[in-house]
Structure formats: structure tokens, C-alpha cells
Chain A
């Protein structure tokens, strides 16, 4: 076991972490703003991957898929917010959770009808095939590309939230929706847009993950569990928390698969249990809202 091997494994851990950040981001944005846990998150991730597959099939280009599929699913997310989730505001916080769970159930079944129950391979775009020499070893180009996209999305989000007027309104709205309404801000329109953006980012994650994971109707279940682990470790609704937690989980999984491969699927959940014992609100979490 050389230093080089460990360094390589560390790097692929960071790459896995980038994917996990992408997986958790949409969930975290929607929770941070609307205060609801989207249990259809995994299913929407899966639908995003299928939408990417569909668009790539129509246009013959991965790049169009990467661009169009998230917008399509983001608009679909807005419909969900408008017609299914909005009637539930003001009711028990469990109700949106139960509803999105049911929605996820329906989406999985709908995809089975349209695309079949078997997994579909999604080939890596030609321009991103092959490996890159990093000095410590060879690394798949596509994974480097994914890291790049995740960094770009995080930067855009940060600029959007911290540097624009819209971001200011979003942050104020998440701090105190009532006051914002008094000040004349149409808060329900704001929630509609934020929900759409959150779902769109989730779908983008699905398209990005498609060449690395088998695209199947069931792929969302693992995604949902992963997203929960990352957000619980990082702290709900905290973007820096999601980033740190994603990297920690990615590196832990990657290192475990080097030293004890049979534990690799379990380690992220064990890590979450450990964090819960020490910091029940996660690394960056505020005290849980509600109750």
C-alpha cells in the first residue's frame, strides 16, 4: 500500500464528495427556504437522469441534455409546488413530507411505465472520455468535469444569494417570511421560484450522475438516503454544512473501500450515527425548527 495509492484514493474521495454535495444541494436549498423536507428528492434526481437521457437521445448531444433537462424538471418542480405543496402550508410539518413521499412513489412508477423497469446505460460523452495524469496517478476526465461543474454551481449559488437583490430577498424571506409579506414581497412567488431552482439543481445532479451510475427507476432510493446523511451531518439548510459534510462522507467512503471494502456501503450511515451522538443538529446546524 503506497502513499501514491492513498493519495489517489483521497482524490477520488473528493470527487465522490463533489457528487454527494450535488445530491444534497437541492434538498438543502428547499429546506432552508421553505422549511420542508422533500421526500421526492431521490425520485426527482432519477427523473432528472431520465430527462437527460431523453434529451440526449433527441438532440444527440450531452451538452443540450445538461442544459435543457434541469430547466424542464425545474419547471415541473414549480408545478408541484403550486398545485400540491402550496395547499399544505400552515398544516402539520409532516404533511408536505408525506405528500412528497407519495409523489416520489408515483414518479418511480410513472418512469417504469415510460422507460421500462430495467436500468439503461448512459454513455460518457466522447469529449470527456479517457483519463488525465494528475502526477500521482491517472484519473477519469469525466470525474474532474463533475468536480468543475459542482464548483461552478456552488459559486453561482453563492453569488446569487450573497451579491444580488434577489438573493437578499430570499435570505430575508427564509429568516422571517411574515415580515417580508408585510413589506410587500410576494412570498409565495418567491417560494415557487426557490422550489423550482432546488428541483432544477437536483435534476442537474441526476444528469451529471447518469454516466457514473446505472440509470434505473430505483436509483433514487440510495440518492435520498445519501442526501439525508449529508444534510444531517452538515446541518439542515446550511450550504457550507452540505459542502463540508459531502467532502467528509466522500473521503470516508473512499478510504473505507480501500481498507475494508465490505464496510463501504455502511460507513456513511455509521458516520451519521456518530455525528448524531456528538452534535444532534449537525456540524453547522441551527436548532431544529418546528416543535
Chain B
């Protein structure tokens, strides 16, 4: 008896060092992420890949707030990504609005869409939620396809190239790939800080409580519906922000950015990296896009390989890359 007690009181050195390591990593999560993002374009094979990791990493981070932390599996987040992109593109292309205001409009529109979709989807529970978000996102997809005078229909939205970012006092050459990367990174870094702040707030604790046990969270007096809706909206806004960045980056909004396929990519990236962890979504986006980069060199059917890997993760590593690393570290 006493032997066991002693063993618990004096942990093995390895265990202590891993635990300290992970708690330190967790405490410095925002500076560490920014540091990693700063060196990303120098370690990846191409800067195009690095920018994509930034943008899809942000989408996955926003999605993770809803799926990983609140426990709501949405299959419709392409709607917010696409809405942000289309709104920014239309604001710049059709109305000649300043890029910064256009970005704000993009975020606002995706936030409004998330509110409407959220109010409807939150009314359903359990697996209904996934089906309803998918169907509502398809509604947005077909609406964009029909409104081709605004959205360009199947050809996508074109004609709104942003070549220089005019800021008070100075301007940024947005055509230089490296400058572009760091300009986008500043926005992503700010969003990461915001997400970290949200997760550390009482609100962050309540969404995790809802994920763990909705009935108990309700019994504790939390307004579960309102909290879920707020989480849905925040998640939509972050995806919308990524959408606006994507529109500014590639100067075109393909109709596919609203497609079910894109919603699926977001889910896959988040799960591959590790849902419910801070670094997971970015690692997932990095892993997914790197796999695309490597496998598409060998075969045009790279999605088959990625799909099989995803299935294996669901079966054997449902915590994803980072989540598995954490539990492995803790068990040492």
C-alpha cells in the first residue's frame, strides 16, 4: 500500500519533464505558434504551400472552436469560408471599396450568415446537427450558383486583384510572395491570440462543459443554447476571416469554396491534427496540404490516399496527431 503511495508521490523524472514540457507549451501557445508560422515559408518546399497552410490553418482553428471545444460536428463550414471570400471580392470588385473595409464586410457577412444558420441548426440535437448544417450549406451553394450576375456562377468570382495594400503612412507590395505571406500572417496571428483568449475565458470553460456533459451544464444554470449559438457565430466569423484572406490571396473566388467538399476538407484537417487542442488544427492543415503536395506529384488520385489515411485515423487515432502526442507524453 505504502509503496504504491510513494510511487504516486514521487513521479518518475521522465513523467515530470514531459508534464512540465506540455504545460509550458500550453502556457506559451500563442508566441510559439507565431514563431512556428514565422519560419514556415523557409522550411516548406514552396511559399504557395505556406500561405495555404496559413489560410486553411485559420479555417481549421475556427472550426475547431465549434467541433473540438463545443462538441458540435458541423458539415457546413464551407458556407462561412465562401461567404467571407465572396463578400470581400464583391466589395472590392463591384464597389471599389478599400481592401480593409472589404475585409470587415467579409467578416460581417459571414458572421450574419453564421447567425442565421446557427439559429436554425442549434434547434436540432445530436447527429441531426451535422445533417442540417450540410443541407443549409448546400442552400448557400445553390444560391450562389443561381445569383451568377453577382457571383460569376460556375466560373467563380474574378476581377478584384489587390496588388498593393495602402495603409496610413505606408503601403505594402502584395505581389511579393514573402511580403504577402507575412501580411497574411499578421492577421492570422491576431486571430490566434483572440482564440487563445476566448478559450481561457469563462466562456471557453462553458463550451467545454457543454461538450463533456450538456445536461449537467444546463443543470448548472448555463444558457446552453445561447452559448452554442455564440460558439457557432465565433467559429463562422473566423472561417469567414480566412475566406477574406483567401480571396485577397488568389484574387478569385471559386464556386467550389462553398461546396460540400470544402466543408469536408475542414473536418478532415481538424480531425487529422487533433480536434479540441490548440495546435491540432494547424498541424492538421499542414499535414493535409503537405500530403496533397507530395502525393499529387505521384498520382492525380491523391485524394484516395488521403481518404484512406483519414479512415485509419478515425479508427485508430481519433485524437489526431497532436492529441495522440499529448496523451502519449502524459502517459510517460
Give every chain B residue within 8 A of A97 (Cβ-Cβ): 73, 127, 130
A84's contact among B125, B264, B311, B318, by CB below 8 Å, is which?
Answer: B311
- Asked if B271 and A98 sit within 8 Å, CB to CB, the answer is yes
Known: A93-B126, A291-B126. A105 touches B301 (CB 8 A): no
Chain A residues numbered 254-279 whose CB sits less than 8 Å from any CB in chain B: 262-263, 265-266, 269-270, 272-273, 276-277
Considering the chains assembled together, what is the distance between the CA atoms of A98 and B68 in angstroms? 13
A280's contact among B75, B124, B138, B311, by CB below 8 Å, is which?
Answer: B124
Give every chain B residue within 8 A of A222 (Cβ-Cβ): 138
- Asked if A288 and B139 sit within 8 Å, CB to CB, the answer is no
Chain A residues numbered 53-112 whose CB sits less than 8 Å from any CB in chain B: 84, 87-88, 91-95, 97-99, 101-103, 105-106, 108-110, 112
A109's contact among B131, B132, B303, B314, by CB below 8 Å, is which?
Answer: B303
- Asked if A232 and B131 sit within 8 Å, CB to CB, the answer is yes
B22 within 8 A of A: no
- Asked if A93 and B268 sit within 8 Å, CB to CB, the answer is no
Considering the chains assembled together, what is the distance between the CA atoms of A92 and B271 in angstroms? 14
For the complex formed, measure the closest distance between the CB of A173 and the CB atoms of chain B, giving whole angstroms: 19
- Asked if B264 and A101 sit within 8 Å, CB to CB, the answer is yes
Considering the chains assembled together, what is the distance between the CA atoms of A158 and B145 in angstroms? 40
B35 within 8 A of A: no
B142 within 8 A of A: yes
For the complex formed, measure the closest distance between the CB of B72 and the CB atoms of chain A, giving whole angstroms: 10
B120 within 8 A of A: yes
Contact-residue bracket for chain B: 35 or more
A33 within 8 A of B: no
- Asked if B146 and A262 sit within 8 Å, CB to CB, the answer is yes
Chain B residues numbered 121-151 whose CB sits less than 8 Å from any CB in chain A: 123-128, 130-132, 134-136, 138-139, 142-143, 145-146
B139's contact among A36, A231, A266, by CB below 8 Å, is which?
Answer: A266
**Contact code string B271-284 (vs A, CB < 8 Å = 1, else 0):** 10000000000000
Known: A273-B136, A277-B123. A109 touches B73 (CB 8 A): no
A210 within 8 A of B: no
Known: A288-B126, A288-B127, A291-B125. A102 touches B311 (CB 8 A): yes
A289 within 8 A of B: yes
B138's contact among A113, A225, A262, by CB below 8 Å, is which?
Answer: A225
Considering the chains assembled together, what is the distance between the CA atoms of A64 and B154 in angstroms? 38
- Asked if A106 and B134 sit within 8 Å, CB to CB, the answer is no
Give every chain B residue within 8 A of A99 (Cβ-Cβ): 311, 314-315
Considering the chains assembled together, what is the distance between the CA atoms of A36 and B73 in angstroms? 14
A221 within 8 A of B: yes
Closest to A108 in B: B303
Chain A residues numbered 192-241 whose CB sits less than 8 Å from any CB in chain B: 221-222, 224-225, 228-229, 231-232, 236
Considering the chains assembled together, what is the distance between the CA atoms of A269 and B136 in angstroms? 6
- Asked if B314 and A225 sit within 8 Å, CB to CB, the answer is no
Considering the chains assembled together, what is the distance between the CA atoms of A229 and B307 in angstroms? 26
Known: A98-B314, A266-B139, A269-B139. A105 touches B264 (CB 8 A): yes
A290 within 8 A of B: yes
Considering the chains assembled together, what is the distance between the CA atoms of A185 and B310 in angstroms? 34
- Asked if A98 and B146 sit within 8 Å, CB to CB, the answer is no
B40 within 8 A of A: no
Closest to B315 in A: A87
Considering the chains assembled together, what is the distance between the CA atoms of A277 and B75 in angstroms? 20
- Asked if A228 and B268 sit within 8 Å, CB to CB, the answer is no
B304 within 8 A of A: yes
- Asked if B123 and A269 sit within 8 Å, CB to CB, the answer is no
Closest to B123 in A: A280
- Asked if A269 and B311 sit within 8 Å, CB to CB, the answer is no
- Asked if A102 and B268 sit within 8 Å, CB to CB, the answer is yes
- Asked if A288 and B123 sit within 8 Å, CB to CB, the answer is no
A247 within 8 A of B: no
Known: A269-B139, A269-B142. A95 touches B314 (CB 8 A): yes
Closest to B121 in A: A276
B36 within 8 A of A: no
Known: A84-B315, A276-B120, A276-B132. A269 touches B307 (CB 8 A): no
Considering the chains assembled together, what is the distance between the CA atoms of A272 and B75 in angstroms? 16
Give every chain B residue within 8 A of A46 (Cβ-Cβ): none
B135's contact among A98, A229, A265, by CB below 8 Å, is which?
Answer: A229
Q: Which of A225, A231, A287 has the most CB of B within 10 A?
A: A225
Pull 30 A–B residue pairs with CB atoms less than 8 Å apart, ordered by A.
A92-B318, A94-B127, A97-B73, A97-B127, A98-B73, A99-B314, A103-B307, A105-B303, A106-B307, A106-B308, A109-B304, A110-B304, A112-B301, A221-B260, A224-B134, A224-B260, A225-B138, A229-B135, A232-B128, A236-B128, A265-B145, A265-B146, A269-B136, A272-B132, A272-B135, A276-B123, A276-B132, A277-B123, A288-B124, A291-B125
Question: What 10 A-B pairs come out closest when comparing CB atoms?
Answer: A269-B139, A106-B307, A290-B126, A109-B304, A105-B307, A228-B131, A102-B310, A102-B311, A280-B123, A265-B142
List 17 additional contacts besides A94-B130, A281-B124, A291-B125; criterion CB under 8 Å: A93-B126, A94-B127, A98-B271, A101-B75, A102-B310, A106-B308, A225-B260, A232-B124, A263-B146, A265-B146, A269-B142, A272-B132, A276-B120, A276-B124, A290-B126, A291-B126, A291-B214
